[in-house]
């Protein structure tokens, strides 16, 4: 798909002209005003659409009226959702050229519109025998060209990450993630099992013991002269999580190919970072392995030693992500960075607390947490702060080691 910035979308020859309508107002199309509003009483509530043909009287074949809801409630999130809905509708009609005439929006919608268009266009159909040929090829819009181009690059990185996360575990192995990282053209080091053993990554390597897939610790580095700060970003990279010897039920295991979604996100970030030339040093870290119940698998009751020398009693082998991330966090802190951002599909307890409407965020610096939360909100991502009080550690104390890796589900996101 290609997005083209134009001065007047209504003059473009297209399959569909999308016109926007706030609730209680009129549109930029006289045709839509006459038929949608006056004759059929279309209200313009958010997400509603109304389609009408032009019968060859216009350069566009059809008009799609897109309801934007109440004007005082409209925001960047909604323009992204509305753009996505319009593209989905266009795909249903197999339209190839779609023009947008978005009137009355009182903020620069260029970025969120572009992301919405590309999000709607995404489909993981690599393994389908028959692929639908219903993609929109060209989108015309009146917008800021520079912002549209930037957002299109971000959307491409999103697509790259989503594709990796959607790959089956038979393809997206630790070795494959390492190969993808090496292809990004950054300063990249891949540590094998023996090298990780020398670094003392006993927690990470324990999780990997049950699988025939070799673990890979991935370190990508983006460098600039005189960086303003140094940042490490870490992504949980469990390429398949069976639960280990504390095996998951089949229904819970079905989607566990995506337990490396955070690692895919890190690869997506690092794939695009040079395009924007940030004046910061960024380290992308992934501890990649499978959690399997093989003959060599780690067992409940085992004592592991993490990279920082702390000992961990294994209470549950399905609480594995925190073990791999523990060694990754130790590694990150030894790099002398100013900030560490850790991403993970860590525990279902977070979804119990927040549902699917928000991601939990926690940290040891309230100002940093707020900055990340505010930044995410501008992109339509909701983060909700959860506590990391010292008292949570009391439940993790072990009688035979420094700590345990798992406790009851009460406060499970914070204890993880």
pLDDT band (50, 70, 90) for residue 34: confident
Q: Which domain holds residue 274?
A: 167-346
Residue 269 lies in a domain: yes
Q: Which of 23-27, 239-243, 324-328, 388-392 has the lowest mean pLDDT?
A: 23-27
User: For residue 51, what pLDDT is reported?
Assistant: 92
Helices (H), 211-303: 250-253, 261-276
pLDDT in tens, 270-326: 999 999 999 999 999 999 999 999 999 999 999 999 999 999 999 999 999 999 999
pTM over 0.85: yes
pLDDT in tens, 204-237: 999 999 999 999 999 999 999 999 999 999 999 9
DSSP percent split of the chain into helix, strand, coil, nearest 5: 40, 20, 40
Instruction: Tell whether 106 and 235 lie within a shared domain.
Output: no
Instruction: Tell whether 143 and 250 lie within a shared domain.
Output: no
Mean pLDDT score, 337-361: 95
**pLDDT(405) > 80:** yes
pLDDT band (50, 70, 90) for residue 131: confident
pLDDT band (50, 70, 90) for residue 350: very high
pLDDT band (50, 70, 90) for residue 132: confident
Number of structural domains, the chain?
2
User: For residue 149, what pLDDT is reported?
Assistant: 97
**pLDDT(410) > 90:** no
Instruction: Tell whether 179 and 144 lie within a shared domain.
Output: no
Q: What percent of the chain lies above the pLDDT cut of 70?
A: 100
Indicate which residues carry an active-site annotation: 248, 322
Tokens 């917008």 belong to 143
pLDDT in tens, 64-75: 999 999 999 999
For 163, residues 6+ apart whose C-beta sits below 8 A from its C-beta are 124, 126
Specify the CATH number for the domain of residue 110. Answer: 3.40.220.10
For 97, residues 6+ apart whose C-beta sits below 8 A from its C-beta are 12, 13, 14, 15, 16, 136, 137, 138, 140
Specify the CATH number for the domain of residue 212. Answer: 3.40.630.10
* Dist. CA 371–CA 368, nearest whole Å: 5
Instruction: Tell whether 148 and 174 lie within a shared domain.
Output: no
Residue 311: both structure tokens together: 């000992």
Residue 141 lies in a domain: yes
Q: Which of 346, 378, 398 is where one domain is finished?
A: 346
* Dist. CA 154–CA 150, nearest whole Å: 7
Q: Which of 155, 176, 211 is where one domain is finished?
A: 155
SS (H, E, C) 329-380: HHHHHCCCCCEEEEECCCCHHHHHHHCCCCEEECCCCHHHHHHHHHHHHHCC
Q: Are strands 303-305 and 281-291 parallel, antiparallel or unpaired?
A: unpaired
Nearest to 240 by CA among 177, 173, 179, 181: 173
Instruction: Tell whether 195 and 261 lie within a shared domain.
Output: yes
User: For residue 38, what pLDDT is reported?
Assistant: 82
| H or E element at residue 398 | none
User: Average pLDDT, whole number, for the chain?
Assistant: 95
**pLDDT(409) > 80:** no
Instruction: Tell whether 334 and 198 lie within a shared domain.
Output: yes
The DSSP bridge partners found for residue 2 are: 138
**pLDDT(408) > 90:** no
User: For residue 192, what pLDDT is reported?
Assistant: 98
Residue 321 lies in a domain: yes
* CA distances for 245 relative to 211, 304, 316, 322, angstroms: 12, 16, 9, 17
pLDDT band (50, 70, 90) for residue 261: very high
Tokens 């003392």 belong to 200
Residue 241 lies in a domain: yes
User: For residue 79, what pLDDT is reported?
Assistant: 95
Of the chain, the end-to-end C-alpha distance in Å amounts to: 41
For 172, residues 6+ apart whose C-beta sits below 8 A from its C-beta are 164, 165, 239, 257, 260
Phi, psi dihedral angles at 172 (to 5 degrees):
-80, 65
CB 368 within 8 A of CB 339: yes
Residue 380 lies in a domain: no
User: For residue 223, what pLDDT is reported?
Assistant: 97
Tokens 């005189």 belong to 226
Residue 395 lies in a domain: no
User: For residue 27, what pLDDT is reported?
Assistant: 83
């Amino acid at each position: 798909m290609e997005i083209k910035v134009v001065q007047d979308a209504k003059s473009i020859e297209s399959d569909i002209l999308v016109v926007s309508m706030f609730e209680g107002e009129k549109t930029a199309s006289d045709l839509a005003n006459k038929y949608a509003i006056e004759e059929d009483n279309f209200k313009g509530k958010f997400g509603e659409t109304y389609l009408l043909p032009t019968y060859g009287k216009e350069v566009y074949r059809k008009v799609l009226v897109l309801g934007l809801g109440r004007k005082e409630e409209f925001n960047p999130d909604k323009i992204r959702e509305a753009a996505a809905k319009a593209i989905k509708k266009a795909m249903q009609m197999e339209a190839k050229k779609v023009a947008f005439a978005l009137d009355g929006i009182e903020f620069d919608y260029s970025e969120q519109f572009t992301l919405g268009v590309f999000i709607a266009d995404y489909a993981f159909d690599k393994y389908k025998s028959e692929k639908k040929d219903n993609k929109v090829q060209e989108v015309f819009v009146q917008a800021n060209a520079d912002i549209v181009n930037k957002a299109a690059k971000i959307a491409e990185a999103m697509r790259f990450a989503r594709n990796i996360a959607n790959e089956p575990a038979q393809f997206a192995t630790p070795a494959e993630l390492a190969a993808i990282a090496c292809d990004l053209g950054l300063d990249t080091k891949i540590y094998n099992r023996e090298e990780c053993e020398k670094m003392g990554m006993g927690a990470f390597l324990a999780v990997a013991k049950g699988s025939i897939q070799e673990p890979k610790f991935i370190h990508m580095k983006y460098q600039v002269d005189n960086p303003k700060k140094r940042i490490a970003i870490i992504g949980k990279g469990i390429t398949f999580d069976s639960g280990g010897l504390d095996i998951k039920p089949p229904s819970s295991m079905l989607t566990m190919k995506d337990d490396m979604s955070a690692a895919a996100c890190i690869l997506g970030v690092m794939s695009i970072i040079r395009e924007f030339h940030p004046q910061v040093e960024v380290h992308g870290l992934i501890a990649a392995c499978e959690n399997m119940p093989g003959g060599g698998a780690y067992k409940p009751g085992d004592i592991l030693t993490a990279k920082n020398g702390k000992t961990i009693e294994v209470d549950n082998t399905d609480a594995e992500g925190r073990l791999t991330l523990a060694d990754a966090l130790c590694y990150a802190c030894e790099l002398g960075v100013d900030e560490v951002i850790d991403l993970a599909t860590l525990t279902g307890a977070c979804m119990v607390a927040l549902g699917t409407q928000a991601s939990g965020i926690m940290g040891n610096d309230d100002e940093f947490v707020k900055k990340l939360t505010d930044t995410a909100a501008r992109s339509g991502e909701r983060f909700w702060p959860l506590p990391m009080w010292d008292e949570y550690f009391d439940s993790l104390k072990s009688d035979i080691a420094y700590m345990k890796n798992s406790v009851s589900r009460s406060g499970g996101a914070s204890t993880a």
